[in-house]
């Protein structure tokens, strides 16, 4: 049974959504005079696409800010309760995927997923990072690394006793897979670009 009322949950979800909707990749590339990041590569606003501008520092800043908006949503809402933190974290994740400010066309959610995870369980974030690094080292596929890491996270959270958080991340992981449909198709047919590859 929900302890927080539905209006409070809706408000937390909306707060997280609006925070998550801030398109940092688009803002930073425009401020840097690099134009609209949506006009290159995959067309999304995430750090991986920002990296295609050739500016590694800008990509790193995008990654950090996209993660921090998820962390901030969780930590701020936590002051009013765990359920509200869950709602705000999910809202931030959805906001990044479907930002209201730019026609609901956002990133693929991995950085914000990680940021929300940091807000709930640093251990889960550590596992995510280690799995991502291990898979990336072996395969040099960023997308595959993220997908495998998002499979590991709900399992780790469950065994940490954070079953409500594990459920949230299981749902978010499914959404991550859906958003990576094109990457999965390219992985299966051998055309997915590798980390460090040109073009």
Tens of pLDDT, residue by residue over 19-65, are 999 999 999 999 998 888 888 877 788 888 888 888 899 999 999 99
pTM, two decimal places = 0.92
Q: Residue 198's pLDDT is what?
A: 55
User: Would you place residue 129 in the very low, low, confident or very high pLDDT band (cuts 50, 70, 90)?
Assistant: very high
Res. 2: pLDDT tops 70: no
User: Would you place residue 1 in the very low, low, confident or very high pLDDT band (cuts 50, 70, 90)?
Assistant: very low
Q: Are 157 and 166 in contact (CB under 8 A)?
A: yes
Percentage of the chain beyond pLDDT 90 is 78
Quote the mean pLDDT of the chain.
Answer: 92
Neighbours of 171 (CB within 10 A): 13
Res. 67: pLDDT tops 50: yes
Burial class (CB in 10 A: 0-12, 13-18, 19+), 139: middle
Residue 83, classed as helix, strand or coil, is: helix
């Amino acid at each position: 049974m929900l302890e927080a009322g539905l209006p409070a949950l809706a408000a937390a979800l909306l707060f997280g959504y609006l925070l998550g909707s801030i398109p940092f990749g688009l803002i930073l590339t425009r401020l840097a005079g690099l134009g609209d990041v949506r006009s290159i590569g995959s067309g999304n606003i995430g750090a991986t696409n920002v990296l295609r501008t050739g500016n590694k520092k800008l990509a790193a800043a995008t990654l950090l800010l996209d993660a921090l908006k998820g962390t901030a949503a969780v930590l701020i809402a936590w002051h009013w309760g765990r359920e509200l933190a869950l709602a705000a974290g999910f809202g931030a994740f959805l906001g990044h995927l479907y930002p209201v400010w730019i026609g609901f066309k956002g990133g693929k959610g991995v950085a914000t997923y990680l940021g929300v995870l940091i807000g709930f369980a640093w251990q889960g974030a550590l596992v995510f990072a280690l799995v991502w690094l291990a898979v990336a080292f072996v395969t040099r596929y960023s997308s595959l690394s993220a997908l495998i890491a998002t499979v590991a996270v709900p399992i780790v959270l469950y065994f940490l006793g954070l079953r409500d958080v594990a459920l949230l991340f299981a749902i978010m992981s499914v959404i991550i897979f859906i958003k990576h449909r094109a990457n999965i198709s390219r992985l299966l047919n051998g055309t997915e670009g590798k980390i460090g590859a040109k073009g």
